[in-house]
Chain A
């Protein structure tokens, strides 16, 4: 049982390049989330999904797009990377009823992205 797996773990991009971060979960969770973590800012929600084929904006969605074509995968795309998107990105997943699991939410180990 792998939980939540994020790919890649590290990446360096040049300004203007595009890339996709992949989040995969094997717990049959309905909900999935993308967060970014910046120093002194905590984790801020970028986008989230409450089910296959659905996505919604979080607190800081600009510059990102997401897709959830399969229940187990949640993709985060950067179409034209900017230095301001240098951050650590965390994916998480949960059941629709968060009390269904003791910890409520399961987090991936993070992706460290640097845009130069």
Chain B
């Protein structure tokens, strides 16, 4: 069975600090996809990134970066120089590559960035 664990329930940082959100996943499949979503206080889900299991290259997008390590089944998310607008709930999610599979979410990490 597939499972996503986000061990950090809440994180508080001060603006300009770097912060890493951890995500550990479990799956028996060799082909799967990992996602990160942001849920700001307004409530909508904002897609951040999708990664497939065959692409272990780290990715950087502005202040955001992702570290995918199959050896430790982790897909961690780092925000560099955090800003107040980064305050949100962040979800890691997993989708196996087979018919009828759905997106399985972790419980989320609430990030609070203070000025």
CB pair B99 A44 closer than 8 Å: no
The number of A-B residue pairs with CB atoms under 8 Å apart is: 55
Cβ of B43: which chain A residues have Cβ within 8 Å of it? Answer: 88, 109-110
CB pair A109 B44 closer than 8 Å: yes
Interface size on B, residues (CB 8 A): 22
Interface status of A8 (Cβ within 8 A of chain B): no
Interface status of B19 (Cβ within 8 A of chain A): no
- Tell me the dominant secondary structure on chain B's binding face: loop
CB pair A42 B35 closer than 8 Å: no
CB pair B33 A96 closer than 8 Å: no
The one of A40, A45, A99, A103 that contacts B102, using a Cβ cutoff of 8 Å: A45
CA distance A105 to B50 in the complex (A): 10
CA distance A88 to B43 in the complex (A): 9
Given A33-B103, A56-B100, A92-B103, are A104 and B33 neighbors across the interface (CB < 8 Å)? Answer: yes
